[in-house]
């Protein structure tokens, strides 16, 4: 009779524990789903506020830009404007915000030469950027401008850029900007290329400082190395054809090996530098 007796207190405790466990699992699943929905909503909100700066279109209207000394530059659509006046270097770029949020320029840095993905893999450290003293806002889906000046006579960067402008060498500019509340910091690298009597502005790379970018850095470097290898193969083929030597096919596993080909005099206008 003792063995056949029912311990209702124990059964009640087990039932209560089981119900509590089910409720805990359901609550945990609901919290996870809620957190996931919140992250998705936050990401969507960030994308609605994210600015992405690029050179303006060639058919965009020109912009007149005034500097502290009263000097004016005129930046046509898709172009940059550079000038040296009494030792002061003035730089400006006509921009278009292709993102969906207001862009606010925070700082900039510049150097002589066209920075590529391979010879300058990463952007300059943010603490080395020169901060903007003027509020430069670029509306979403609209045009705007960036301007910067170098006035310190002892500044080596200023001296190098002055020489580059006078000799019409390529110049790289990196812009640090954010959304309208100072978040989603982004660095974009622009190239200023002299062509005829103008300076064309092109875009090289974007870096998101506060989150992962749209593609892994390793994939970008691998793509750049592939292009460089193909360029090397094309140059070897041209040299071989010009010298009458054998044509060496590219090796997919590594850089092209020219074998016994002796490099002839390089045709005018060719270069080893990647695009």
- Do 16 and 73 lie in one domain? The reply is no
d(CA 194, CA 165): 9
- Do 272 and 222 lie in one domain? The reply is yes
* 265 — pLDDT class (breaks 50, 70, 90): very low
Domain that holds residue 158: 53-213
Spell out the SS3 assignment of 30-43: HHHHHHHHHHHHHH
d(CA 203, CA 73): 21
- Which helix (H) or strand (E) segment is 146 a member of? strand 143-150
- Do 219 and 189 lie in one domain? The reply is no
Q: Per the confidence metrics, is the pTM higher than 0.85?
A: no
Cβ 71 vs Cβ 121: under 8 Å: no
- Do 88 and 208 lie in one domain? The reply is yes
Phi, psi torsion values for 33, nearest 5 degrees: -65, -40
CA 174 to chain CA centroid, nearest Å: 8
Closest to 63 (Cα-Cα) out of 72, 53, 74, 52? 74
The rounded mean pLDDT for the chain is 82
Convert the pLDDT of each residue in 64-104 to its tens digit.
999 999 999 999 999 999 999 999 999 999 999 999 999 99
- In the beta sheet, which residues pair with residue 207? 187
Convert the pLDDT of each residue in 7-47 to its tens digit.
667 777 777 777 787 777 778 777 776 667 666 665 666 66
- Do 245 and 260 lie in one domain? The reply is yes
| Helix-, strand-, coil-residue percentages of the chain, each rounded to 5 | 30, 30, 40
Final residue of a structural domain among 213, 230, 261: 213
- Do 168 and 263 lie in one domain? The reply is no
Closest to 205 (Cα-Cα) out of 187, 228, 221, 231? 187
Cβ 176 vs Cβ 123: under 8 Å: no
- Do 227 and 200 lie in one domain? The reply is no
Q: What is the pLDDT of residue 268?
A: 43
d(CA 53, CA 131): 17
pLDDT at position 249 over 60? no
d(CA 263, CA 128): 42
Phi, psi torsion values for 57, nearest 5 degrees: -80, 160
- Do 81 and 188 lie in one domain? The reply is yes
For 53, the token pair is 């700066």
- Do 239 and 271 lie in one domain? The reply is yes
The CA distances from residue 9 to 2, 15, 17, 214, in Å, are 15, 10, 12, 59
Query: Rg of the chain's alpha carbons, rounded to an integer?
Result: 29
Phi, psi torsion values for 29, nearest 5 degrees: -65, -40
């Amino acid at each position: 009779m003792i063995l056949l007796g029912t311990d209702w207190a124990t059964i009640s405790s087990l039932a209560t524990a089981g119900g509590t466990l089910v409720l805990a699992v359901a609550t945990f699943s609901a919290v996870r789903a809620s957190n996931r929905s919140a992250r998705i909503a936050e990401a969507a909100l960030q994308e609605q506020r994210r600015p992405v700066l690029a050179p303006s279109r060639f058919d965009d209207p020109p912009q007149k830009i005034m500097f502290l000394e009263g000097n004016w530059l005129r930046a046509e659509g898709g172009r940059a404007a550079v000038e040296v006046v009494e030792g002061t270097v003035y730089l400006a770029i006509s921009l278009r915000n292709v993102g969906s949020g207001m862009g606010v320029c925070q700082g900039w840095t510049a150097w002589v030469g066209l920075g590529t993905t391979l010879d300058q893999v990463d952007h300059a450290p943010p603490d080395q950027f020169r901060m903007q003293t003027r509020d430069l806002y670029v509306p979403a889906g609209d045009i705007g401008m960036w301007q910067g000046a170098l006035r310190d006579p002892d500044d080596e960067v200023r001296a190098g850029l002055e020489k580059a402008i006078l000799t019409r060498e390529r110049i790289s500019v990196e812009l640090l900007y954010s959304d309208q509340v100072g978040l989603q910091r982004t660095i974009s690298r622009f190239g200023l290329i002299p062509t005829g009597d103008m300076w064309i502005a092109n875009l090289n790379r974007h870096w998101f400082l506060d989150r992962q970018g749209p593609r892994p850095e390793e994939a970008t470097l691998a793509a750049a190395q592939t292009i460089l290898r193909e360029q090397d193969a094309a140059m070897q083929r041209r040299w071989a054809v010009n010298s009458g030597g054998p044509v060496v096919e590219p090796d997919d596993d590594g850089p092209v090996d020219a074998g016994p080909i002796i490099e002839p005099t390089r045709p005018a206008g060719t270069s080893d530098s990647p695009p």
